[in-house]
Each structure stands twice: as C-alpha cells, then as structure tokens.
Amino acid sequence: MTTLDVVTLGVVCADVMVRPVEALPPRGKLTLVPSLEIHLGGLAAVTATVLCQLGAKAAFIGKVGTDGFGDYIVNTLRRQHVNVDALAITPAHATSATVVLISGDGERTFLHHLGANAHLSESDVNFDMLGRARLLHWGGPAILPGLDGAPIGRILAKARSMGLMTSMDTCYDGKDVWFPHIEHALPHLDIVMSSIEEARKYTGAQEPEEIADFYCSFGVKTVLVKLGAEGLYVKNQHEAHHVPAHNVTAVDTTGAGDAACGGFLYGYLQGWDLLRCARLANAVGGLTVQKMGGAEAITSLADTLAFMEGA
C-alpha cells in the first residue's frame, strides 16, 4: 500500500478564466476577449497538484459532479499524479466552478458556484487513506459549509490522534462570518496559512506579526501570512522572517497563494528550516503568477529551486 506525504481536503473547482477584463460589456451586448481558458482551481486541489509536481506523494479528498467540469477535474488531477481514490463523484450535484475575470495587471474578480463543494461532509473523509499519510491539509473554510465549524474540528482532532500533522489554508468569506468557520479547527492545527486580507478578517488583527500571534495563541506552531506583491511573512515559536516577492510580471494571480502553500508544505515535510520553506513557497508563488491558472506553472523541484536561487 502506497504511503502518502499529504492528503488535501476541501475545495476543488473548474476555473473559467477570461483576460483581460477591465469592464463588463453593456447589458445584453457582446465583447470579444483575446483569452478564455479553463484551468484546475480550488485551494485543496491546487495545493495537492503543486506538491506532486515538486515530487511529493499527495492525495485529494473532495466532491465533484458527473458533468463536464467534473470529468475535467478528475482527468487533470490524475494527469498531475494526484491520488483521487477518495474523491467523491456524485450525480446529485453539479461540479463547483468559478468565472474568473482578470484585469490587465493580474487582479481577479470572481463569480463562484459552490456546487458539489457545498455537500462535502465529514462522512466523505476516508480515514483509512489518512492513516497512510504524514499530514492532512484543509483548504477552503467559508465555502465548505458541510465541514466548517465543529465537523472540521473533529476531523483534525482525529487526524492528530492518528499521528498526522495538520495544516489549513483560509478562503475569503463572502457571507462575512469569518472566525466561527475556523474556531474549532485552530486547537488542532500545526500550520496556518492565510492571505493578509483574509487573515485580518479571521483574526481582527492587522499586522502580520499580530496575526501570527493570534493564531499561535490557539497552539498553532507555524503561521504563514501571504502578502501578495509584498511577498510573505512566516513565524514559528523560535523565529520570524519576511521574504520579499520576486520581481516578475504578473499575468494572473489566481491560485498563487494555494500553490505557495504546496511549496511551503513540501519543504516542511523535507525537514527544511523555516526560512528555506518560506523561500520555496515564495518561489512557487512567483512562478505561478506568470501563467494563467494556479496549478500548471510548477513543473519540477529542480526548476523551482533554480528560480528561487537565481532571482
């Protein structure tokens, strides 16, 4: 039976990406666009894909429908060597999808359909698979109503009792609930990763140092705050670092944070020091923003390290 490094749990979607979009056409009218593509999206799915591209063994647990978007997601994950044995496929719900409108400078605006993600539940978690892994990563609080709150707390607590490390990557909450989604999870997490905009909402703190301290007050050991164009901030019980962003031209920032989480977790599982883990995460993000989509820019560990060291 194959041993896994990471099982990611949570959001997957098909991203229909349009670029560049500076304004919507007048109501009832048509505008031609130079680029319209479909890509794999979703916090947990993108992280799993990047981990595999860097050389880790990763599996994904989530839910998709029996439709074209679902077929695309399953085939893409398999092509990227992600284990999908525990991916639930249901005819009852449509696959989650997002229309991503990307401006010329790479900023994104989203139209998101929760779809099957809204029906992912505690009963969908394959604990036999978790028993073969080293770390469980949860990606997608606030858009996983079947897991948010007490259910994810129970899942993470059980994973911890089985000897797994645990991590979380936060998501934007369009309903403005924030902290209650993650409150039950925090005591059972080793690593929290969050964008600065989201982290301010989840924690009520403003500066990266204060955000990290808030999360650590629940027993979290390591915090990564993604700062966008400013790079990232990382802190554990012993040290803290700010790693500046790479100087690149951003084509599309979709999924860059999710991809960076994969980079950080890869280094963490290799036993790298905190700064090197953060630098790899930063490099993954720097490569990702130069291409459309969040999961395709990373092709190998060697190429990513070359970018990291050469920049």
Q: Secondary structure of 262-300 in the HEC alphabet?
A: HHHHHHHHCCCCHHHHHHHHHHHHHHHCCCCCCCCCCCC
Tell me, what's the pLDDT at 186?
A: 98
The rounded distance, in Å, linking the Cα atoms of 157 and 177 is 23
pTM score, whole prediction: 0.95
3-state helix, strand, coil in the chain (%, to 5): 35, 25, 40
Residue 34: count of CB within 10 angstroms of its CB: 7
The rounded distance, in Å, linking the Cα atoms of 53 and 210 is 33
Tell me, what's the pLDDT at 106?
A: 75
- List the Cα angle 216/221/226 in 5-degree steps: 75
List, in sequence order, every beta strand (DSSP E) within 130-264.
135-139, 165-169, 191-195, 222-226, 232-235, 240-243
**Domain limits, the chain:** 6-23+33-310
> Under DSSP, is residue 38 helix (H, G, I), strand (E, B) or coil?
strand
pLDDT averages per 10-residue partition of the chain, 311 residues: 90 94 94 94 96 98 98 97 98 96 84 95 97 97 96 98 98 94 98 98 98 98 96 97 94 89 98 98 96 86 96 53
> Under DSSP, is residue 154 helix (H, G, I), strand (E, B) or coil?
helix
Architecture of domain 6-23+33-310: 3-Layer(aba) Sandwich (3.40)
Residue type, 197: E
Burial class (CB within 10 angstroms; exposed 0-12, middle 13-18, buried 19+) of 89: middle
Quickly count helices (H) and strands (E) in the chain: 10, 14
Structural tokens at position 168: 């979380």
